[in-house]
Amino acid sequence: MQTAIGDHAQTFITLDTFEARLDALDRSGIDEIRLIGGEPTLHPQFPALIERARRRGKHLVVFTHGLISERALAVLEAIPVDACTILVNTNASRHIDGPTPDEQARRRAVLLRLGARALPGFTIDTPGAALDFLLSLALETGCQPKIRLGLAQPILSGRNRYLHPKQYPLVGQPIARFAQAAAQYGITVELDCGFVRCMFSETELEMLHAAGVETAWRCSPILDVGIDGTIMHCFSLGSRVVLRPTDSATATDLRAALADQVRPYRAAGIYKACSSCSFKLTGACTGGCLSATLQRFRASPAPRLVVPEEVLGI
Amino acid sequence: MMAGHARVTLECPEHLRWVQDATCVWVVDARSGAAHCLSGTDAAVWGWMTMAYPYDRLVELTGLLLNLPPAEAEQHLAALLQAWIAAGLLEIRAGAL
C-alpha cells in the first residue's frame, strides 16, 4: 500500500488524514508505509509526517526524485538506516531531455548524505537508456548495494513517455549485461513490475539468475492511496481502476476487490500472443503491465451491420 | 438472400471493448465484467463487422470460410448474430441507419 502525501497540483495530505492512513495500515497488519507524490519531500509538514510514522513503528519507504531540500534531507538523515528505504529515481528531471548535470550532481550529493538509507532506481523509457552510470553512483555514494530497474509504463488516462512493449526485447540484453556487471561489484539488480518473461532470451535469463536477480513477471494491485482517499490499482492505471475507501477494509480485501475489477482484461496481455502463451496460461507471467494491456483494448471501430429483419426472426 | 426486405442495424454497445489476439478476439463488457473469447469463424465475422462489410458480403465470406452453400451460410450467420445479441455483444438499433 502506497500513500500519496502530495500531488502534482501541490495539494497535500493533512496530518489527520495521514493518521487515518496509518490506522488503515495497522488494521491490515502492515508495518511499512510507502510515501509517494508528486514528490513527498515537498510536503510542508514532511518532518511531522515522518515523526508520526516513526512513532507508530512503521518502516518508511519514500519514493523521491532525489532533488531534496536541505530541510527534508536532514529529516531523512535522522532516520536510522534500518528503519527506512529512500528510493531515489535517478532519471527524474524537470527537463524534457532528461536530467541536467546540475540535477545529477545534486542527486549524487543527496545519495552520499543518505548512504545506506538510499536505494537508487532507474526507469527505462527508451531502448538506448544508458545504465552504467548507476554502478559508479552506487559504489561511490555508499547507498544500498541494490539498483531498482523499472520499465516506464503508459499512464492510461494521460500522456507520458513510456517504453512500448514492442521495444521490450531491445532492452532485455542490456539489462542482463548490466545485472552481470553489477554482480561483479556485489550489487544486485531488482526488477520492478511489468517485466515479461519473453523479453529475455534463455541466455539472458541465465545471466540474470547468475547475477542474483529475482525474476517475477508480475502485475498486481499495488494499492496507491490518493490524497482524497481513493484507492487505485497503481499509478499507471490511475483513476480508471479505483475503490472508495471504507473504514473496515483491509489491504487484502482491497487487493481482491481491485483484482476483481480488472479480471476480465487479464485474459489478454501486452502482446497478441500473450493469451495463448504457456507462461501466461500457467501463471508464470501475467502478460505485462495491465495499463499497457488495456491500451490494446478498443471501442472502435465498433462492429456494425445492417441486416434484414427476418435474419433475426423479427 | 433476403436483400430488399426491411432492415435493422446491429451495433456493439458502447460499454464493450475488444482486442484482437493471436488466436481469438477478446470482448469485455466493462459493465458486467464478462469476457468473451471469439475464435475461428466467430472471430472472423467480428473482424468483418469492424470493417463495416455489408451483410451480403458477410454471407458470402462465411460460406467460403465454412465451405457452405449461401442458404446454409446465411443460417449460420443468423444463428451467430442472434447468439451475440443474446450475450449482449450486439444490440439492435431501430431501422437501417
CA distance A291 to chain B (A): 14
**Alpha carbon separation from B45 to A231, A303, B73 (Å, rounded):** 40, 9, 12
pTM: 0.90
Contact with chain B for residue A306, Cβ under 8 A: yes
What was the pLDDT predicted at A65?
95
ipTM at complex level? 0.90
Residues B59, B74 contacting (CB under 8 angstroms): yes
pLDDT in tens, A102-137: 999 999 999 999 999 999 999 999 999 999 999 999
Residues of chain A with Cβ-Cβ distance to B20 below 8 Å are 272
By C-alpha distance, the chain A residue nearest B52 is A304
Of B9, B33, B50, the CB nearest to A264: B33
pLDDT interval class at B84 (50, 70, 90): very high
Contacts 24+ apart (CB under 8 A), B78-84: B78/A311, B78/A312, B80/B41, B80/B42, B80/B45, B81/A305, B81/A307, B81/A311, B81/A312, B81/B10, B82/A312, B82/A313
Domain layout of chain A by residue ranges: 2-263
3-state secondary structure A101-149: HHHHHHHHHHHHHHHHHEEEEEEECCCCCCCCHHHHHHHHHCCCCEEEE
- From A259's Cα to the closest Cα of chain B, the distance in A is 12
Q: Which chain A residue has the Cα nearest residue B20?
A: A272
Is the CB of B5 less than 8 angstroms away from the CB of A309?
Answer: yes
Q: What is the mean pLDDT of residues A160-174?
A: 95
Which carries the bigger pLDDT value, residue A169 or residue B96?
A169
B55·A306 Cβ contact <8 A? yes
Percentage of residues of chain B with pLDDT beyond 70: 93
Q: Count Cβ atoms below 10 Å from residue A49 Cβ, excluding itself.
A: 27
Q: Could you tell me what percent of chain A has a pLDDT over 70?
A: 100
CB-based contacts of A181-185 (< 8 A; 24+ apart in sequence): A181/A132, A181/A135, A182/A134, A182/A135, A182/A138, A182/A147, A182/A211, A183/A210, A183/A211, A183/A212, A185/A135, A185/A138, A185/A139, A185/A145
The CATH homologous superfamily for domain A2-263 is Aldolase class I (3.20.20.70)
Chain-centre distance for alpha carbon A52: 24
Residue A198 has pLDDT above 90, yes or no: yes
pLDDT at residue B3 is higher than 60: no
Q: What is the pLDDT of residue B96?
A: 58
Mean pLDDT estimate for chain A: 93
Q: Is the model more confident about A40 or about A227?
A: A40
Question: Residues B70-84: what's their mean pLDDT?
Answer: 97
